[in-house]
Amino acid sequence: MIELEGVSKVYSQGFIRREQTVAVDNVTLSIKKGESLGLVGESGSGKSTLGRLALRLIEPTNGTVRFDGLDLSCLSRSELRRTRPRMQIVFQDPDTALDPRITVKDCIAEPMKVWHLAMPVEQKRLVVELMDLVGLQPDLIGRYPFELSGGQKQRVALARLLALKPDFIVADEPTAALDLSVQAQILTLIKKIQRSTGLTLLFISHDLQVIGQMSDTVAVMHKGKIVEEGRTCDVLDNPKDSYTRHLVEAAYESSAWMGKNR
Ligand SMILES: Nc1ncnc2c1ncn2[C@@H]1O[C@H](COP(=O)(O)OP(=O)(O)OP(=O)(O)O)[C@@H](O)[C@H]1O
Ligand SMILES: [Mg+2]
């Protein structure tokens, strides 16, 4: 479904002295249809950049990104626009995806209007169905985003995105801004939706435990490169790369610490 081949991204900053940051360095990676790949690595390792490259929200400096067999760099503007609804992103902060001036109903219905996916008379019924799918009480339909909790806002953002019936989703630390109990609920919801709709998922997190819960396969990113990848259980049980071992040990230590201090 998604194939990245030799993909790099170099950011250049500054006008007088150009500074260059190699955020993603020659990455080759693929995700099969309906599978979930967890991308893990420390802050600044290039995870979000790689997620944006996979969606073609930013241009790679080098390499090829293929979506369902289509080389995204060869698509015309209108062809790329037509594939957009099929590829979506969930952000860490749901406020990024929600317009504070419109109600839950309009937030969820907006993509249906923009992409002409449903007749106006059908929209309300579809909004209610999507709210049910993401576990939102129907009486929240007239609320504005500022009248919702963080978890509810993330559910609205998910419903809004599911209105487009995407095939591929990049979830970039979608629960990092939520407290622990709400985090678990949203992760369970994303997993349930992924299983029931057969979505392909690139799940980004710096937390190996979350990745263990969410992904079939895992890729470990360090300084822009993928240093290890494989089935999640194999990589977590038997990490080969020294950086992965360090991440696994740190995850065990923090869970042991949490256990002791509970
Ligand atoms: N638009 C940009 N312009 C210049 N440099 C950037 C830009 N976006 C990211 N970078 C740099 O690229 C590198 C990778 O950043 P990226 O956001 O992809 O990391 P990350 O793994 O997602 O980190 P985090 O876990 O903190 O979200 C960092 O050094 C960052 O400073
Ligand atoms: Mg990031």
pLDDT tens, residue by residue, 174-194: 888 888 888 888 899 999 999
Q: Is the CB of 225 under 6 A from ligand 1?
A: no
Amino acid making up residue 182: V
Architecture of domain 2-260: 3-Layer(aba) Sandwich (3.40)
Ligand 1 pocket, residue 51 CB under 6 Å: no
Per-residue burial over 15-53, b if 16 or more Cβ lie within 10 Å, else e, is: eeeeeeeebbbebebebeeebbbbbbbeeebbbbbbbbb
The residue-averaged pLDDT of 139-164 equals 93
Minimum mean pLDDT range among 2-6, 110-114, 199-203: 110-114
Residue 137 in 3-state DSSP? coil
Is residue 262's pLDDT more than 50? Answer: no
Residue 20 forms beta bridges with which residues? 12
Matching residue, tokens 């801004």: 177
Neighbours of 144 (CB within 10 A): 15
Nearest CA to ligand 1 atom 2: 11
User: For residue 233, is pLDDT > 70?
Assistant: yes
* CB of residue 12 inside a 6 A radius of ligand 1: no
Q: Are 51 and 29 in contact (CB under 8 A)?
A: no
Best residue for ligand 1 mutational test, from 9, 27, 45 (most atoms within 8 Å of Cβ): 45
Rounded to an integer, the average pLDDT of 232-254 is 88
Pick from 76-85, 128-137, 230-239, 250-259: least confident: 250-259
Percentage, residues of the chain above pLDDT 90: 62
Give the pLDDT confidence score for residue 60 in this predicted structure.
Answer: 94
pLDDT, average across residues 76-82: 86
Residue 261 clears pLDDT 50, i.e. is over it: no
Block residue for tokens 């993928």? 226
d(CA 219, CA 225): 10
At residue 116, what are phi and psi to the nearest 5 degrees?
A: 50, 50
Whether residue 250 has pLDDT greater than 90: no
CA of 21 to the centre of ligand 1 (A): 9
Q: Is 83 exposed, middle or buried (0-12, 13-18, 19+ CB in 10 A)?
A: middle
Q: Rounded to two decimals, what is the model's pTM?
A: 0.91
Q: What is the token pair recorded at 130?
A: 């999507």
- How close is the Cα of 80 to the center of ligand 1, in Å? 25
Residue having the nearest C-alpha atom to atom 4 of ligand 1:
11
Q: Would the pLDDT of 223 be above 90?
A: yes
For residue 129, pLDDT beyond 80? yes
How far apart are alpha carbons 218 and 228 in whole angstroms?
8
Strand partners, 70: 67
Region 121-131: mean pLDDT is 92
Nearest Cα residue to 84 out of 169, 210, 13: 169
- Contact (CB, 8 A) for 31 and 82: no
Range with top average pLDDT, 49-53, 112-116, 255-259: 49-53
Structure confidence at residue 257 (pLDDT) = 53
Q: Which residue's C-alpha comes closest to atom 30 of ligand 1?
A: 44
- What integer is the mean pLDDT of 148-154? 92
**Interval between CA 15 and ligand 2 midpoint (Å):** 25
pLDDT at 144: 96
Ligand 1 pocket residue status of 94, Cβ below 6 Å:
no
Average model confidence (pLDDT) across the chain: 90
Nearest to 33 by CA among 155, 158, 166, 173: 166
Average pLDDT over residues 54-83: 89
* pLDDT for res 256: 60
